Amino acid sequence: QVQLKESGPGLVQPSQTLSLTCTVSGFSLTSYSVHWVRQHSGKSLEWMGRMWSDGDTSYNSAFTSRLSISRDTSKSQVFLKMNSLQTEDTGTYYCARNYKGYFDFWGPGTMVTVSS
């Protein structure tokens, strides 16, 4: 069955870099795109960026140049790297499979706290 699971540090210091991994199973990264979405304390959801099935990426301009998404297809993993973290980046980060624009499967999410 389709599964996604995020992993990474729960706590990051301000100005440091966040590194998250999304490990997927039940589908191929070369057939579906995987996106990152974050949520602040149960509030609304914010689309961050995507890894397309052909390896192309695109990002929300709200994150300017501090966001990077990559993948390792041999390990079925998609990576998120975001630098210059601030307290406003505290929240739950999800990876989700996208099908024709909508998200049909989501990971359980990983909580990230930015604090010294």
Partner 1 sequence: DIQMTQSPASLSASLGETVTIECRASEDIYSNLAWYQQKPGNSPQLLIYDANSLADGVPSRFSGSGSGTQYSLKINSLQSEDVASYFCQQYNNYPYTFGAGTKLELK
Does residue 44 touch partner 1 according to CB under 8 A?
yes
Cα(95)–Cα(86) distance, integer angstroms: 21
Does residue 62 touch partner 1 according to CB under 8 A?
yes
| Residue of 22, 109, 112, 114 that binds partner 1 (CB under 8 A) | 109
Question: To the nearest whole angstrom, how small is the minimum distance from the Cβ of residue 7 to partner 1?
Answer: 15
Cα(45)–Cα(27) distance, integer angstroms: 24
Strand extents, DSSP E, the chain: 3-7, 11-12, 18-25, 33-39, 45-51, 57-59, 67-72, 77-82, 91-99, 102-106, 110-114
Token pair listed for 73 = 């297809």
Question: To the nearest whole angstrom, how small is the minimum distance from the Cβ of residue 61 to partner 1?
Answer: 7
Binding to partner 1 in span 67-96, by CB under 8 A = 94, 96
Select 65 or 74, whichever has its Cβ closest to partner 1. 65
| Residue of 61, 64, 86, 116 that binds partner 1 (CB under 8 A) | 61
